[in-house]
């Protein structure tokens, strides 16, 4: 074919179609989406099972700390030194 015939056949207008990202991976898109969703759900499950972040454990811990502070106030008078204050004074 001569150069003069390029325009007559429309070969100048031919363009290469872009390749989609999921076509490059050669895996079905639903598998990729399920892997991403599974990873997110796994992170949520780990966060939910974490004992330090559990609301019940935090409430229980705070209640025990409040009981201990109240007990210290009842056991010691205002002019007495608690063991915690004694250690603090020794360290400073």
Please check whether residue 89 lies inside any domain of the structure.
yes
**By residue range, what is the domain housing residue 71?**
52-92
Q: Residue 53 CB: number of other CB atoms within 10 A?
A: 10
pLDDT at site 6: 57
Q: Residue 3 CB: number of other CB atoms within 10 A?
A: 6
pLDDT at site 53: 67
Please check whether residue 11 lies inside any domain of the structure.
no
pLDDT tens sequence for the chain (92 residues)? 555 655 666 666 677 777 777 777 788 888 989 999 999 999 988 887 776 667 787 888 888 988 888 776 666 666 677 777 788 888 77
The residue length of the chain stands at 92
Is residue 58 within 8 Å of 64, Cβ to Cβ? no
Please check whether residue 4 lies inside any domain of the structure.
no
Please check whether residue 71 lies inside any domain of the structure.
yes
Q: pTM of the full predicted structure?
A: 0.39
76 plus 56 within the same structural domain? yes
């Amino acid at each position: 074919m001569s150069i003069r015939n390029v325009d007559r056949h429309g070969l100048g207008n031919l363009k290469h179609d872009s390749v989609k990202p999921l076509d490059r991976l050669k895996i079905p898109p639903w598998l990729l989406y399920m892997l991403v969703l599974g990873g997110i759900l796994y992170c949520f499950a780990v966060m939910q099972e974490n004992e330090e972040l559990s609301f019940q454990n935090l409430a229980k811990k705070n209640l025990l700390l409040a009981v201990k502070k109240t007990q210290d106030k009842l056991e010691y008078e205002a002019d007495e030194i608690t063991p915690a204050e004694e250690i603090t004074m020794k360290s400073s």
